[in-house]
Structure 1
């Protein structure tokens, strides 16, 4: 399994508000199906981040293109394979 970080910068604020319920339902479904590791908005309102779990970039991109934000032109997107560090110590 590989991980892919997807940045979803704001493209159209009105469409983002309009399609937010569908986007959130999509994210929940994908988390339930274990296709998303984590997700969340940026606190400055500029967009959000989704970490997809997939076998390949092609598969992760196919998941991404099912997002109502992408389908309806609410957000731009940028995808990068992400190497999650599993041996990192947290200092909280």
Structure 2
């Protein structure tokens, strides 16, 4: 499995407020299935970050596109494969 840091920059503040409950439920489901390792919002209100665990970038992007924030055009996204040094130590 690989780790991916997904930035979710703000696209539409009103839509972000509208889709927030669905987004949080989605993240909870992803954490419960082990597909999301961590998530949080930026304190300046510019967006947030989600750390996904997936087989490939394509698999990660498929999950990201299911996020109500992305599906509802509230947020843009940027995906970066992440070499998580803490995870490498943990998984040895």
| Fold conserved between structures, TM > 0.5 | yes
In structure 2, the partner of 1:38 is 38
Say if 2:73 is the partner of 1:73. yes
CA–CA separation in structure 1 for the residues paired with 2:76 and 2:56 = 21
CA–CA separation in structure 1 for the residues paired with 2:37 and 2:26 = 13
TM, length-normalised to structure 2: 0.93
**Structure with greater proportional helix content:** 2
Query: Alignment RMSD, CA only?
Result: 0.7
CA–CA separation in structure 2 for the residues paired with 1:9 and 1:65 = 14
Matched pairs, number: 87
Task: Please list every run of 5 or more consecutive structure 2 residues that lacks an aligned counterpart in the other structure.
Answer: none
- The list of structure 1 runs, each at least 4 consecutive aligned residues, that deviate by more than 6 angstroms after superposition, is none
In structure 2, the partner of 1:64 is 64
In structure 2, the partner of 1:51 is 51
Task: Please list every run of 5 or more consecutive structure 1 residues that lacks an aligned counterpart in the other structure.
Answer: 88-92
